Amino acid sequence: MATDTISACTGSSLLQPISEIINLPLDQVNFVVCQICALLMACCFRLYLHPSKTSPLARHVVATLLGVYFALFCFGWYALHFLVQSGIAYGIMILAGVEHMHRYCLVFALAYLSFCQITRVYVFDYGMYSADFTGPMMVITQKITSMAFEIHDGECLFAGAVFRRMPSLLEYFSYNCNFMGILAGPTCSYNDYIAFIEGKPYRHRDQGSNGKPQGKTSLNDPSPNKEVIRKLATCFISLLVFLSVCKVFPVERNIDDGFIATTPFYAQVVYLYLSMLTTRPKYYFVWTLADAINNAAGFGFNGYDGEGLPRWDLISNLRITNIELATSFKMFLDNWNIQTAHWLKRVCYERCPYNPTAATFLLSAMWHGAYPGYYLTFLTGIVVTLAARAVRHNVRPCFLGSPTHKLVYDVITWASTQIAICYTVVPFVLLSVGPSLKFYRSWYFSGHIGCVLLAIALPVKPRHLRLKEQQLGLQPSSTHSQKHKAT
């Protein structure tokens, strides 16, 4: 990489002529070109650096060096933040010890990420262009904390056994900064990544604590070619839809005074859905391409389905069909940014004794960045989630009596879910407080008011009480079975 082609703010300027010809920002051109190169390198990585042909050491070195190169090409010297954040967190893991490392790493990684996000938004973005180097840092933050929690929980693999072990410095930086996931992720388990590097994908998840296989396993090395081609086709269609349709339905029109004054409310609802619908293909493109890159390298194999076909969804970040046909808020969230949802569940939701839903949404807002719109979206998401949960627990059972009633329920909840999602994420797109509140005022805060009323009118018992009741309900049957065995 020539030093004269690297800018401290925007990365390489080598592709500036292409950026001007196709009229796209240079950082976007750099990103797409690097991802295409990563796809080609992934194919070579699988073919020429296969575990059967080379050592894990060589695979770690190549994956790390390529990742650092792509980071420098896209973000210039801002990419050093990736190494600094990772390096300090590694030191914290060593100094803090197993008992406390997960807490300290979570606090540090989030604090460092937040500092970079705040300075990028409120210092360098005004009067000076800079690429969003904090995007990869968001994924690295997840990886740092995920690894710390895995080590703390005693889930790290070594020589087929499960126990607490610190990774080597090379393994650590390879996991955080490999070329397959440095630019767009997705987050993955440290165990899964090491198993991939060592040539044991899927095998370690079929082992018990004694290192022996549990049940039927398939240890062969299936080809990912068909899956990669399918995902690349999805990327192409998503990009085509985004470039051709997104400008037809700009989100900003939802807060245009003339549009609000002259458009009937039902038409505003339809336009809101269409405008938010056309923003999704951008994420479909980025996340599916990232998934295809990992698959092309041989990473992402998740065993076989019921028909004996290989599954390549171990680190997939979304399920498009389930998103577009979601009939509940939970179903939408479970299929959108899947790896982030897993991370939030592990580091927050499952460990927070009280109000885990609110705590998880607030952590998600902090992780996403410093724009006020993010916090408005996730605060709104709390009340929408509570209302959706109340409806599902109290109303859904009334419609399960017949297929017709169930179909009616599904149609109503699909429409409600899609509008609720759009209503919730408008501030996420608009970013600022003023435009976001203007949108909500134009809807008279009806979504907030309706959700609060539903949550009050249809109460649901707290999670810890439901779990306690389930445990109490299991005790009699378990006691009875023990007595039966004794007799």
End-to-end CA distance of the chain: give it in Å, rounded: 77
**189 lies in a domain?**
yes
Quote the CA–CA distance of 244 and 86 in Å, as a whole number.
39
Identify the weakest region by mean pLDDT among 103-107, 186-190, 469-473: 469-473
Dump pLDDT digits (tens) for 397-446: 889 888 999 999 999 999 999 999 999 999 999 999 999 999 999 999 99
Same domain? 259 vs 146: no
pLDDT at 164 over 70: no
Same domain? 445 vs 377: yes
Identify the weakest region by mean pLDDT among 1-10, 88-97, 177-186: 1-10
Cβ–Cβ under 8 Å, residues 79 and 64: no
Same domain? 400 vs 354: yes
Cα angle: 22, vertex 25, 27; to 5 degrees: 125
Identify the bridge partners of residue 12 per DSSP, sorted by sequence position.
Answer: 6
| Structure tokens that stand for 259 in this block | 């549009």
From 179, 206, 233, give the residue that closes a domain.
206
More confident residue, 204 or 19: 19
**443 lies in a domain?**
yes
Dump pLDDT digits (tens) for 67-86: 999 999 999 989 999 999 99
Same domain? 244 vs 351: no
Cβ–Cβ under 8 Å, residues 359 and 352: yes
pLDDT band at 99 (very low <50, low <70, confident <90, very high): confident
Calculate the dihedral angle through the C-alpha atoms of 447, 448, 453, 456, rounding to the nearest 10 degrees: 130
Same domain? 283 vs 369: no
135 membership: H or E segment, kind and range: helix 134-152
| Bridging pattern class, strands 161-162 and 6-7 | unpaired
Same domain? 193 vs 244: no
pLDDT at 1 over 90: no
pLDDT number for residue 68: 97
Cβ–Cβ under 8 Å, residues 136 and 182: yes
Residues in the chain: 487
Calculate the dihedral angle through the C-alpha atoms of 411, 412, 414, 418, rounding to the nearest 10 degrees: 140
Q: 400: domain range?
A: 319-479
**310 lies in a domain?**
no
Contact residues for 392 (Cβ-Cβ < 8 A; gap 6+): 328, 330
**311 lies in a domain?**
no
Quote the CA–CA distance of 261 and 277 in Å, as a whole number.
23
Same domain? 133 vs 251: no
| Structure tokens that stand for 444 in this block | 């008279």
> In 3D, which of 308, 409, 427 has the Cα closest to residue 368?
427
Cβ–Cβ under 8 Å, residues 188 and 340: no
Identify the bridge partners of residue 213 per DSSP, sorted by sequence position.
Answer: 207
Quote the CA–CA distance of 75 and 134 in Å, as a whole number.
10
Cβ–Cβ under 8 Å, residues 370 and 121: yes
Same domain? 239 vs 332: no
* Rounded average pLDDT over 191-203: 83
Cβ–Cβ under 8 Å, residues 132 and 369: no
pLDDT at 9 over 50: no
Average pLDDT, rounded, for the chain: 87
**386 lies in a domain?**
yes
Q: Which residues are catalytic?
A: 337, 368
* Rounded average pLDDT over 383-394: 92
pLDDT number for residue 421: 97
**11 lies in a domain?**
yes
**313 lies in a domain?**
no
From 267, 297, 327, give the residue that closes a domain.
297
Dump pLDDT digits (tens) for 438-466: 999 999 999 999 999 999 998 776 655 55
Cβ–Cβ under 8 Å, residues 483 and 475: no
Same domain? 412 vs 354: yes
| Structure tokens that stand for 435 in this block | 């435009």
Calculate the dihedral angle through the C-alpha atoms of 241, 242, 244, 245, rounding to the nearest 10 degrees: 90
Tell whether pTM > 0.85. Answer: yes
Quote the CA–CA distance of 108 and 96 in Å, as a whole number.
12
Same domain? 41 vs 114: yes
More confident residue, 32 or 479: 32
Give φ, ψ of 6 to 5 degrees.
Answer: -110, 125
Quote the CA–CA distance of 47 and 417 in Å, as a whole number.
44
Contact residues for 80 (Cβ-Cβ < 8 A; gap 6+): none
Dump pLDDT digits (tens) for 110-148: 999 999 999 988 877 643 444 689 999 999 999 999 999
Q: How many domains does the chain have?
A: 3
Give φ, ψ of 154 to 5 degrees.
Answer: 70, 40
pLDDT number for residue 217: 44
DSSP 311: P
Give φ, ψ of 339 to 5 degrees.
Answer: -65, -35
% of the chain surpassing 70 pLDDT: 84
Same domain? 180 vs 263: no
Same domain? 448 vs 393: yes
**165 lies in a domain?**
yes
Going through 199-260 in order, the beta strands assigned E by DSSP cover none
pLDDT at 26 over 90: no
From 266, 297, 328, give the residue that closes a domain.
297
